[in-house]
A and B are shown apart, each in its own frame.
Chain A
Amino acid sequence: MVAKPKKNNMLKRLSSPAILSIASTAGALIFTSLILWMAGAQPGLTFQKILIGAFGDSVKIANGLVVWAPLSLIAGALIITFIAGLWNLGIEGQIMLGAIFTTGAMRLFENSSISPTLIIILSCLVGMVGGAFWAALTGILRLYGGVNEIFAGVGLNFVATALSLWLIFGPWKRPGVGSMSGTEPFNERLWLVQIPGYRLSIWSLILVVVVYIGLFILLKKTRFGIQIKAIGKNLEAARLMGIQTRKLMMLAMLLCGALAGLAGALQVVGVYHRLIPSISSGYGFLAMLVAMLANNDFFLTLVVAYLFSILNIGGIQLPINLHLDSTLSGVLQAVLVLFFLVMNGLKQRLMGRKERSRDAE
């Protein structure tokens, strides 16, 4: 009788979030080391090169933040849909549409007499509309068309890719001949103000903070937040409770799309200053892993997004330094999430067995 609660305590402590994340990280590092060893590389040296690649000098640290800002925005956007129980795989397309709409607006206003600041703000807003529009299509297909949102989203991603390629090689092509390097860059006065010497803009960082405060209030303190949580937990029960499930799920999609569109807009006005074929850089799918690993927790999402940005930046120089492909970062990121899921499952199994055996007594 005395020993039992003690044992239970130990089990609880073993399955605390901190231990779990340490165990997942260790598992992921060991697995990645094995992969590196298979590829004939030295794991220690590789990890060291990744760290140097991410923190070697101030430009690299700033570049980490350049990735972090859009990644955080997109992961935050995805949390809304994840909480509502929607797997919004169309996020890539929503980012692209945000970028396309922003580019369109910039081209429209470029030679007008409106002040540059206003043009940038207007174009970003148009980008948000673009992202929301693409998300609305997924939402309509899911809620009124009977098409699962995973496949509607993936399908619309293909459409968005085709659309941006058509624009880059067709109507918006550079003078002369269109190329994979994208559309003609904008006039420098229409670039988002950057910290001198870096690609980083302070405005995108401020935007992340503002959006996260807004998201926190929206999801934790408002009726909307509680209702979409109810929908995500049990759609049928929420409907029976009198929640307007369709309207709210649609709203969740629209909000997510608008924020994804904003991230796409920032990539255009703040990083590339033009539309390029791979404007989303795969951040949409990466953000999906971020939100999964952070378990939809806002603060953790920001931390994980930073960790993933470091890995992305740190991996860039692997091909030059060690003749390894830079997709190693992607492997490490995905393995982390996989091990997190495995550890989570092991914990539930362990706790469940404990409970079941207690029930039997």
Chain B
Amino acid sequence: MQSELLIGLAGVIASASPIVIAAIGETLTEKSGMLNLSVNGIILLSAMSGFIAAYDTGNLIAGYLAGMLTGALIGWVLAFCTITLNQSQVAVGLVLAFLCRDLSYFLGNDFMGFNAPVLHSTPLPFLSEIPILGSLFFDQTPMVYLSLLSIPVSLVWINRTKFGLILRSVGERPEAAFARGINVNKVRYLYTILGSALVGLAGPIYSLGLKPGWKGSMTGLDGIGWIVLAITIFGGWNPFRVALGAYLFELLRWLGLVYQIKLTGVPSQVLQVAPFPLMILTLMFVNMKNAEWFESFISLLPPPIYRFFSLKGKRRKAAPSSLGIPFRNV
């Protein structure tokens, strides 16, 4: 029983890995003040392109690179349309989301049902022998290690390095950053492309590992991108919280699968989609803390409780203040 639970939880960590990487990529993009709404499309398109590249070359690395390249290309298109051509980030992002989704189904049509190489788990020596922790974290695929590693790396990058300082200044006070001699739009270009490349890595992680192969609209990846966006925003643009959100989502999905067998009263089709609304609703209620009425409501409560819930003086969930707002240096 205990080992069953352990295997399940290890599966949750594995299946959350693409969401963690994509959400951290989106966090980096949004920290610079750019909103990339095309995540859902990028994941699908890169899953398709990564699968085809790996199928053609027989090489997994080529697949991952192709996925990242696809993401970077879409990120460049978004940056070009919104920064250089000054179009709405929401409009371009949405169009790209729909375009990439249909494009992946169209171009991937000829490759449906083919077998490509699949990434296998490589237990880390010594570490994988630690009881419980070993089988949870250190008996996984290299991509899972990458997703685990990306959390502290991005945290340090954003909060403790000079590059992170530039990134945050561009997202929070672009005018001030510009006055300090930072090329705001160049930084935004860079982080949009970098973030989208990370989102693009999530695609092949699915099509070359978690959900091997390409099955068109039956691949079951449509919708994941919207969850990534929601997790990023409600995770408060903090890589650690964002990763927690990803694990919570996959935990819900796993519970749905487990209860599919035990709860015969609920149709299985409902249990399969239930984690999506549940996740979003959870995130919404967590986010309620940001509303004015919540602040005024809890101010009526006794001081210790008020202090526990209040966000006054804490800036942990504040959005980058120039998110979605174009910057024009005249």
What is the interface of chain A, defined by CB distance below 8 A to chain B?
35, 38-40, 87, 89, 141, 144-148, 150-152, 154-156, 158-159, 161-162, 165-166, 169-170, 178, 285, 288-289, 292, 323-325, 327-328, 330-331, 333-335, 337-338, 341-342, 344-346, 348-349
Contact = CB atoms under 8 A, between A and B. Distances in A.
B29 to A, nearest CB: 16
Contacts of A333: 98
Identify the 4 closest CB pairs spanning chains A and B, nearest first: A345-B85, A155-B280, A330-B102, A169-B267
Contacts, number: 144
Interface residues of B, number: 48
Given A166-B270, A338-B99, A346 B106 contact: no
B270 A289 contact: no
A325 B230 contact: no
Interface string B176-218: 0000000000000000000000000000000000000000100
Contacts of A323: 109
Interface stretch (B120-128, B238-246, B289-297): B289-297
B143 to A, nearest CB: 26
A84 to B, nearest CB: 14
Contacts of A331: 99, 102-103, 106
A158 B273 contact: yes
B107 interface: yes
Contacts of B294: 146
A323 B109 CA distance: 9
Contact of A341 (B91, B216, B229): B91
A38 B95 contact: no
Contact of A159 (B92, B105, B277): B277
Which of the listed residues A158, A323, A337 has the most CB atoms from chain B within 10 Å of its own CB? A158
Contacts of A330: 98-99, 101-102, 105-106
Interface string B78-116: 000100111100111011101101110111011000000
B284 interface: yes
Q: Give the interface SS of chain A, mostly helix, strand, loop or mixed.
A: helix
Contacts of A344: 85, 87
Contacts of B220: none
A89 to B, nearest CB: 8
A170 B267 contact: yes
B95 A338 contact: yes
22 contacts: A35-B107, A38-B107, A145-B284, A145-B288, A146-B288, A150-B90, A151-B230, A158-B280, A166-B266, A169-B267, A169-B269, A169-B270, A289-B95, A327-B102, A328-B102, A334-B95, A334-B99, A337-B95, A341-B92, A342-B85, A344-B87, A345-B85
Nearest to B273: A162
Contacts of B107: 35, 38-39
A35 B81 CA distance: 20
A147 B284 contact: yes
Nearest to B289: A146
Given A146-B291, A342-B85, A349-B86, A154 B226 contact: yes
A35 B103 contact: yes
Given A152-B284, A158-B273, A334 B102 contact: yes
B85 A348 contact: yes
Nearest to A346: B85
B37 interface: yes
Contacts of A345: 81, 84-87
Q: Which of B92, B103, B106 has the most CB atoms of chain A within a 10 A radius of its CB? A: B106
B259 to A, nearest CB: 15
Nearest to B110: A39
Contacts of B91: 292, 341
A335 B90 CA distance: 16
Contacts of A334: 95-96, 98-99, 102
A337 B87 CA distance: 12
A45 to B, nearest CB: 16
Contact of A325 (B95, B109, B281, B283): B109
A330 B109 CA distance: 14
| Highest count of chain A CB atoms <10 Å: which of B90, B216, B226, B270 | B270
